[in-house]
């Protein structure tokens, strides 16, 4: 294990949860699947700020404001801006990321003015597989938003999810598409099954998942971070810190959007025990 490797940690703050009308078959936040999750419209701004401070204490260098839903509308945009301004005011030195679905150039410029540094929009899966996973919007719409992010000069965070029944060729195709957008950070998610969802099982095994991290690193060499996001614990179990040998250098700390993660304390202790350096300040 390369112990001198610098590791980046990112915390997620679900500021609007489980209210999405889209039908992505892997997502418990869709109202169509009735998953047993917390659903709410707007998290209180004080709570968001509290979570940002907690993220900083937990050694995160990124903090992501996530809303469920197809994209930004005027009300949601104003809410995200309000949250961004409140977190920025605390001067915590966090990279502030927004993840709010489809966004126009104008909307992204507004977020930038409010203090957002980066925008996360995942391609999710391959262009030619997308319609089997989502019918309510298109892959092309997602790609366009990522182009918009680059246009306004926000840092692009763009990845996807594996294990939805896609072929190996389709995994490669998605990684190629991601590479064409030149993202700064590539979050790799691994499907976390839930009985309420139409997809019942994760179609990849651990060995394949490790190989996919290696492949992502190879195909997207310029990305500052290859991040293992949702599904880390379930996919990699007791071998989860081996992701750093395969080319990953970042992961999500704390809870995910609708599933629990390891406690930050456990992760940090384990990383320090293994001798990794955690990058605590902004990059």
Report the residue from 22, 51, 117, 267 that binds ligand SF4 according to the rule CB under 6 A: 22
Q: Are 256 and 233 in contact (CB under 8 A)?
A: no
Name which of 134 and 215 has its Cβ closer to ligand SF4. 134
Name which of 30 and 107 has its Cβ closer to ligand SF4. 30
Name which of 42 and 70 has its Cβ closer to ligand SF4. 70
Part in contact with ligand SF4 (CB under 6 A); list of ranges 22-30, 138-146, 176-184, 234-242: 22-30
Q: Does 85 bind ligand SF4 (CB under 6 A)?
A: no
Part in contact with ligand SF4 (CB under 6 A); list of ranges 3-11, 25-33, 113-121, 261-269: 25-33
DSSP 13-44: EEEEBS-B----TT-TTBTTS--S---BS---
Name which of 22 and 117 has its Cβ closer to ligand SF4. 22
Q: Does 27 bind ligand SF4 (CB under 6 A)?
A: yes
Nearest distance from residue 226's CB to ligand SF4, in Å? 21
DSSP the chain: --TT-EEEEEEEEEEEBS-B----TT-TTBTTS--S---BS---HHHHHHHHHHHHHTT-SEEEEEE-SSB--HHHHHHHHHHHHHHHHT---PEEEEE-SB--HHHHHHHHHTT--EEE---BS-TTTHHHH-SSS-HHHHHHHHHHHHHHTPEEE--EEE-SS--HHHHHHHHHHHHHT--SEEEEEE----TTSS--S----HHHHHHHHHHHHHH-TT-SEEEE-TTHHHHHGGGGGGGGGTT--EEEES--SSS----HHHHHHHHHHTTPEE--S--
Nearest distance from residue 10's CB to ligand SF4, in Å? 18
Nearest distance from residue 76's CB to ligand SF4, in Å? 12
Interface positions, 101-130, toward ligand SF4 (CB under 6 A): 101
Question: Rounded distance, CA 177 to CA 163, Å?
Answer: 18
Q: Does 24 bind ligand SF4 (CB under 6 A)?
A: yes
Nearest distance from residue 65's CB to ligand SF4, in Å? 14
Report the residue from 30, 58, 107, 258 that binds ligand SF4 according to the rule CB under 6 A: 30
Interface positions, 44-83, toward ligand SF4 (CB under 6 A): 68, 70
Report the residue from 17, 29, 100, 189 that binds ligand SF4 according to the rule CB under 6 A: 29
Nearest distance from residue 109's CB to ligand SF4, in Å? 22
Residue 276 phi/psi, 5-degree rounding, is -75, 150
Name which of 30 and 177 has its Cβ closer to ligand SF4. 30
Torsion of CA 56, 81, 156, 197, to 10 degrees: 90
Part in contact with ligand SF4 (CB under 6 A); list of ranges 4-12, 24-32, 35-43, 241-249: 24-32
Residues in touch with ligand SF4 (CB under 6 A) = 20, 22, 24, 27, 29-30, 68, 70, 101
């Amino acid at each position: 294990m390369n112990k001198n490797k610098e590791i980046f940690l990112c915390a997620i703050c679900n500021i609007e949860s489980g209210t999405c009308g889209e039908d992505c078959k892997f997502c418990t936040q869709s109202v169509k699947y009735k998953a047993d999750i917390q659903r709410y419209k707007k998290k209180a701004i004080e709570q968001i700020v509290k979570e940002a401070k907690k993220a900083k204490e937990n050694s995160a260098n990124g903090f992501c404001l996530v809303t469920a839903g197809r994209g930004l509308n005027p009300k949601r945009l104003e809410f995200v801006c309000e949250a961004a301004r409140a977190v920025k005011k605390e001067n915590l030195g966090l990279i502030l990321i927004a993840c709010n679905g489809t966004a126009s150039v104008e909307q992204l410029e507004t977020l930038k003015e409010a203090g957002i540094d980066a925008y996360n929009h995942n391609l999710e899966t391959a262009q030619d597989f997308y319609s089997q996973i989502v019918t309510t919007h298109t892959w092309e719409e997602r790609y366009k938003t990522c182009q918009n992010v680059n246009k306004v000069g926000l840092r692009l965070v763009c990845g996807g999810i594996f294990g939805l029944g896609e072929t190996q060729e389709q995994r490669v195709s998605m990684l190629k598409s991601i590479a064409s957008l030149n993202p700064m950070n590539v979050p790799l998610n691994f499907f976390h099954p839930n009985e309420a969802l139409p997809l019942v099982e994760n179609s990849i095994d651990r060995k394949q998942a490790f190989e996919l991290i290696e492949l992502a690193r190879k195909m997207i060499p310029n990305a500052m971070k290859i991040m293992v996001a949702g599904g880390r614990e379930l996919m990699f179990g007791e071998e989860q810190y081996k992701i750093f040998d395969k080319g990953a250098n970042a992961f999500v700390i704390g809870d995910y959007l609708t599933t629990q993660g390891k406690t930050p304390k456990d992760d940090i202790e384990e990383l320090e025990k293994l001798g990794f350096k955690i990058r605590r300040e902004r990059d």
